[in-house]
Amino acid sequence: MTRRPVATTRAHPFGPSAGPALFTVNPSVPIHDALELASNMLRCVHELVITISDGDTNGQEIFAVQYLTEMAKALVEAAAEGVWDEERAQ
């Protein structure tokens, strides 16, 4: 049986700045690793949103929500680009 190659992420810049993006998802990361990390980040976002909605915050948590969702989105997009590249190559 022939094993299919593991799909990997593509480089995906993110992070607003006046110039180039501040951060980049590294290329060649196995997609399952990228999606697992994105899922963990979104679980943290979920818990933070519950905490914020309860009013038990000092106001800084909303920035964590913003940054975590931006990072999770970049991971998912880098993974999707890797899958699309694999499909086009077949």
| Number of C-beta neighbours around residue 82 at 10 A | 23
Give the pLDDT band of residue 87 (cuts 50, 70, 90): confident
Can you give the three-state secondary structure of 20-65, one letter per residue? CCCEEECCCCEHHHHHHHHHHHHHHHHHHHHHHHHCCCCCCHHHHH
Task: For residue 49, give both structure tokens.
Answer: 């949103």
**pTM for the full predicted model:** 0.89
Q: Over 90: is that where the pLDDT of 67 sits?
A: yes
pLDDT in tens, 1-60: 667 778 999 999 999 889 999 999 999 999 999 999 999 999 999 999 999 999 878 888
Would you put residue 55 in left (φ > 0), alpha (ψ -120 to 50) or beta? left
